[in-house]
Copies of this chain bind each other. A is one copy, B any other.
Amino acid sequence: MSLRIALLGLLAASGPASGYDLTKKFETSLAYVWQAGHSQIYPELAKMAADGLVSVEAEGTRGRKTYTITPEGEAELHQWMVERDPVVPLRSESALQAFMVPLLEPDEAIAVLERMRAGSQARLAQLEALRETKTAAARLAEAEGRHPDAFGRYALDLGIRHARTAVEWASDSIADIRRRT
């Protein structure tokens, strides 16, 4: 279901696109909220076309198929956005690792937490760079009178805040372990 919604969202926000385009967008912009490879995307688009949520607008060169969201697709997306309960069924390998940190000896635990901190810091840097790019593009758009692309803005902010939180948490946890030993 979520993959379907993500694809509808991309089509709604950026207009008609091919499976290839959408795969790229998953890698570049959607990667930190949802992941999917082309082997999942192509069959899903075919199913969505069969269900009338998207239509094949044109078949271009190199077998390229351009998908467009239909009114039914827009309705489906809108309904999901508005009615969907914000369940948070977290399934995070990192959190699982964090959970079990107390099983380790203090020095090993600190080593693990330090790698986690480095990972979160790297992620933070990457997301902040992405935001830089986006705000620059938004400024340019505004200067030229076009309305800037806000798609993904709030999620990016959330990702940055989460990463910052994770860095602080790792530092504090390391300090906590040192204090206890």
Partner of A95, one of B95, B150, B158: B158
Whole-angstrom distance from the CB of A32 to the nearest CB of chain B? 6
Given the known inter-chain contacts A161-B165, A162-B165, please indicate yes or no for A93 contacting B84, CB distance below 8 A: yes
Interface residues of A in 125-159 (CB under 8 A from B): 150-155, 157-159
B33 and A99 form a contact (CB under 8 A): yes
Is A58 located at the chain interface by the 8 A CB criterion? no
- List chain B residues, Cβ under 8 A from A6: 96
Distance between A121 CB and nearest chain B CB, rounded to angstroms = 11
List the number of copies, as a whole number: 2
| CB–CB B173/A154 < 8 A | yes
0/1 string, A89-107, CB within 8 A of B gives 1 = 1111111111111111000
| B residues less than 8 Å from A33 (CB atoms) | 90-92, 95-96, 98-99
Q: How many residues of A contact B (CB 8 A)?
A: 65
Q: Quick check: A2 and B93 within 8 Å, CB to CB?
A: yes
> Is the pair A81, B112 in contact by a Cβ cutoff of 8 Å?
yes
- Minimum distance in angstroms from A177 CB to a CB of chain B: 9
Nearest Cβ on chain B to A139's Cβ, whole angstroms? 15
A88 interface contact, C-beta 8 A: yes
Q: 5 tightest CB-CB pairs across the interface, nearest first?
A: A99-B155, A86-B119, A33-B95, A102-B150, A98-B155
Question: 15 interchain pairs (CB within 8 A)?
Answer: A2-B91, A9-B100, A9-B103, A13-B103, A33-B92, A33-B96, A35-B90, A86-B97, A86-B116, A101-B155, A102-B151, A102-B153, A102-B154, A157-B173, A158-B169
